[in-house]
Structure 1
Amino acid sequence: MDPRDGLPPPGHLVQHRQEGRIPGTHPLPGISGAGVTVGCDRPAPVRQAPARQAPARHPGPDPDPRLEIAGLTALSTCDWPGRLVATVFLQGCPWRCGYCHNPELLDPRTPGRVPWPRVIDLLRRRRGLLDGLVFSGGEPTRQPGLATAMEVVRELGFGVGLHTAGAYPGRLAAVLPLVDWVGLDVKALPDGYPAVTGIGSGADKAFASLRLVLDAGVEHEVRVSVDPALHTEGGVWRLVELLTRSGVRRIVLQQVRRPDGSASAPLPVLIAPPRGVRVRRAE
């Protein structure tokens, strides 16, 4: 691996955004520049990223989308199941979930620490080795330069993955034609959103975004972080039923971590989940 990637020392683990924090690691993957994501499900066989037609652009230097990038993970097997990817973590999120393990990413006023040219340099050096780039956060759709960044990534020949909680359905609709895979966080049943996110209107936006993803036909995974302080056994089962009826093809239940980094006590649904639903434990 190239030292320019800023990889952490051997044995340093950097955590996947959607899982709980690994004890003894920095909560921001790649806050010093980049990292390696490990500690997740065994990846499926790596396949070539889907080929979508990128929008035509005039020739010239790559534009700078002016993203506020808090961290860069140079290699991940978790952030897009079945793919080897790099991941950028974009600053800012409008929600305040009590179990959030990346609180440093919440404040949109915090400037980014990773310049976009460093991301492009990494991708150019990893042609043939990486399948794509995942835009994670925070909430990446809040940044106006996201579509431009995705276009650049596609023109370099890489697939585009997106992690989102669906907080901005209008902005999500604008970038979905540029996305090959979506990891969508659904927080709770609609009436449970205020308790989880601290935002009263969150459910309408999240479920509107879910419908956009399903109607677009894009590959997706819906993740539900199960917090025993906020969710009930029956509520999780009803949410899974709602998602299944809506047409979601892949549902993952995730065990959250407490603020001290220890794994929360799992609800029974994480031990014996509904048929076809995967569980991602906070190891």
Structure 2
Amino acid sequence: MAAFSTVDYPQHLAATLFLQGCPWRCHYCHNLHLIPRRKVAGGINWQQALEHLLKRRGLLDAVVFSGGEPTIQAALLPALQQTRALGFRNGLHTGVPQLKRLTPLLPYLDWVGLDIKALPSDYEVITTNRRAGLDSWAAIDVLQAASVDFECRLTWHAALQSAEQVVRVGQRLAERGVRRFAVQPARSEQMLNEQLGTKALSGEDRQRVCSTLRPLFETLEFRE
């Protein structure tokens, strides 16, 4: 749990809760300890998290549920209901591996950071799951229809995607009406696939992505 964050929910002070479990095995995943659903050192339960949030009412604006992949937790819906009842905004970081798990949450969400890994046809390269991707992209239409504020973000590792592939993802998102897009380099100091290497993104590739995509979005961020 991050007791205080200024970056996990745009323009709001938030507490961020990292939930365990994920159906994917993304090569560049840096939250390795959150993939399995088991007790980890320093972990807290929901009651402890709730006690912390009760003490922060009036000091924090929002609670962000991150992961892992938080939507696979059956207890996420009642948790969102509780935090909303306490007066907090609810944020969610998710890759939406299953759209049916996102839909019941929508009435209790104020903002979503939607992880788009690649074009749907390239998801297996990133996630090692051949069924991944379709629900993630379908979530864009669902969030728009529900009028839930959201941004799309892509984690970029040069060994997995070229600048041209990242540009195509951004162009497809813009065609779908996405207004905010963020690109973030993969954290190479700790990755699920240690053989992936630490190939750095070149300045030329970064510039190509930014200059091509910036006119297509209200906001385009390159986050370090």
User: Is the structural similarity TM-score above 0.5?
Assistant: yes
Unaligned stretches of 5+ residues in structure 2? 192-196
Considering fraction of residues, name the structure with more helix: 2
Deviation at 1:264, TM superposition (A): 4.5
Residues in 2 aligned to 1:152 and 1:222: alpha-carbon distance in whole angstroms: 26
Taking the aligned partners of 1:230 and 1:102, their CA distance within structure 2 comes to 18
Name the counterpart of 2:200.
Answer: 265
Residues 130-175 of structure 1, C-alpha deviations (whole Å, 9 max, x = no match): 0010000000000111110000001111110000001121010110
Residues in 2 aligned to 1:135 and 1:118: alpha-carbon distance in whole angstroms: 15
Give TM-score, length-normalised by structure 1: 0.70
Contact preservation (8 Å) 1:166, 1:210 = no
Bigger RCO of structures 1 and 2 (CA < 8 A, at least 6 apart): 2
Distance (Å, rounded) in 2 between the aligned partners of 1:264 and 1:102: 19
Q: CA deviation at 1:213?
A: 1.5
1:173 to 81, 84, 103: 103
Letter matched to residue 130 of structure 1: L
2:116 and 2:136 in contact (8 A); partners too: yes
Against the structure 1 CA distance between its residues 216 and 223, is the aligned structure 2 distance closer, same or farther, given a 3 Å change threshold?
same
d(CA) in 1 for partners of 2:190, 2:19: 24
Residues 64 and 91 in structure 2, CA contact (< 8 A), matched pair in contact too = yes
- Per the TM alignment, residue 223 of structure 1 is displaced from its structure 2 partner at its CA by 0.5
Cα drift, residue 210 of structure 1: 2.3
RMSD of the TM alignment (CA)? 1.7
Query: SS of the residue aligned with 2:182?
Result: strand
Please state whether the residue corresponding to 1:238 is helix, strand or coil: helix
Assess if the C-alpha contact under 8 Å between 2:15 and 2:64 holds in 1.
yes
Give the length in aligned residue pairs: 209
Q: Secondary structure at the match of 2:71?
A: helix
Q: Which residue of 1 aligns with 2:112?
A: 182
Structure-2 separation of matches of 1:200 and 1:232:
20
Q: Map 1:64-143 onto structure 2 (within 5 A).
A: 72-108=1-37, 110-111=38-39, 113-143=43-73
Partners of 1:202 and 1:258 in 2: CA distance: 23
Distance 1:249-1:97 versus aligned 2 partners, 3 A rule: same
Q: Give the corresponding residue for 1:51.
A: none
Instruction: Name the residue aligned to 2:123.
Output: 193
Distance 1:170 1:258 in 2: 32
Question: Is 1:152 paired with 2:82?
Answer: yes
Q: Percent identity?
A: 40
- The equivalent residue for 1:279 is 222
